[in-house]
Amino acid sequence: MTTLREKKRPIAQRLVKPRPAKTVEAPYETTNLYPRETGLPMTVWAGPRGRARHDARIKVCRTRGDNMDPTNLAVVAIRPAPRVVHGPLAQNDFTAIAAWIALNEVALIDFWNGTLGGSEFAASLRRLGAPSQR
């Protein structure tokens, strides 16, 4: 008679399905734009399209000043017209953001599409409230 220990049993195999990868934006892909650079009361993040399936957007820190808190932000779509797509944003802050987007739409879209590099993008931005250059 054969004991259980002598029998060769196959090793139990477990089929594990791979989880879909979460799309996480790498921090090096975005550009931090501070109030002193934009004329806005808060920090804004802009970045290239990358693997995004949506149209051009920026992220806005809802805390005023040079803060960069990714847990406290609103996402604003750039076109066809600025609109909040995620997170609450005070109306007066949205008004300023929309004006800044209108002032810099070409640069934001070119950076999103990858036709402007980071330094070119930064050089082409116009500050809200600054005198216009002719």
Residue 18 pLDDT > 90 = no
Structural domain boundaries, residue 74: 30-122
- Dump pLDDT digits (tens) for 32-47: 999 999 999 999 999 9
89, 41, 92: which is closest to 65 by C-alpha? 41
Q: How many domains does the chain have?
A: 1
pLDDT digits (tens, 9 = 90+) for 20-74: 554 445 545 788 999 999 999 999 999 999 888 899 999 999 999 998 888 999 9
d(CA 84, CA 93): 11
* Angle at CA of residue 62, ends 56 and 66, nearest 5°: 95
At 71, is the secondary structure helix, strand, or coil?
coil
- Asked whether residue 19 is assigned to any structural domain, the reply reads no
Confirm whether 35 is domain-assigned: yes
